[in-house]
Amino acid sequence: MIKKTVKNVQEALEGVKDGMTMMLGGFGLSGIPENSISELVKLNVKDLTCISNNAGVDDFGLGLLLHKKQIKKMISSYVGENAEFERQMLSGELDVELTPQGTLAAKCQAAQQGFPAVYTPAGFGTEVAEGKETRDFDGKMYVLEHAYQADFAFVKAWKGDEAGNLVFKGTARNFNPLMCGAARITVVEVEELVKPGELDPNQIHIPGIFVQRIFEGKNYEKRIEQRTVRQK
């Protein structure tokens, strides 16, 4: 069985260069590849195009890359809790492509499955559809959306084995599975890395064929954007 493990995050990110397009899993701050993002900050790569549901918060997640002006273009569905993201977008410092959330997911999945494009009804008749091909299917209009083309996909999973088989936990099972295999190189960081055969085959969410590099991450903070508690 092919081992896809690398020693650390530094080895996992070998080949990352300025100007690349990257997918980053997670939803809000849930299931984001914290170690990979921190290493991107340290590498100080510039002019990145980042495909992610949102951009974290000002001082965590993709917000760290925004703070250092490492991101040239953000493709996402939600500005979220990130004031710096909002500021850069409104000032014109950052190129932002806002995409319906389901379309964002579908374009990732299309890339994963090898489809060049998909038709979706989302966005028809709005600015989202401007300049794009539209088509009638059974009396309903659809917009042609091209699959994403990314150099790297950075994914966070709960458990994985040395062959790259993955198990996701809770809300972290969001955009992460869809981004596996959707880029030229998929890098996965896991909370626990085990030997092949230790994972229950019936519980595996993504098979190792979609993964090129995997490593065990460290020091996860797992922050919460907004904490709401019940009054006593």
What does 150-216 look like in DSSP terms, one character per residue?
EEEEEEEEEEEETT--EE--GGGSSSHHHHTTSEEEEEEEEEEEE-TT-S-GGG-SB-GGG-SEEEE
For residue 120, the surrounding DSSP H or E stretch is strand 117-120
What pLDDT sits at residue 230?
Answer: 85
Residue 135 vs residues 29, 88, 114, 119, 120: alpha-carbon distances, Å? 36, 35, 21, 8, 10
Question: Closest by alpha carbon to 142, among 125, 119, 110, 115?
Answer: 119
Q: Which DSSP letter does residue 135 get?
A: E
pLDDT score at 177: 97
Question: At residue 180, what is the residue type?
Answer: C
pLDDT by position in tens, the chain (length 232):
578 999 999 999 999 999 999 999 999 899 999 999 999 999 999 999 999 999 888 889 999 999 999 999 999 998 877 889 989 999 999 999 999 999 999 999 999 999 999 999 999 999 999 999 999 999 999 999 999 999 999 999 999 999 999 999 998 899 999 999 999 999 999 999 999 999 999 999 999 999 999 999 999 988 877 778 888 7
The pLDDT of residue 1: 59
Q: What is the pTM of this model?
A: 0.93
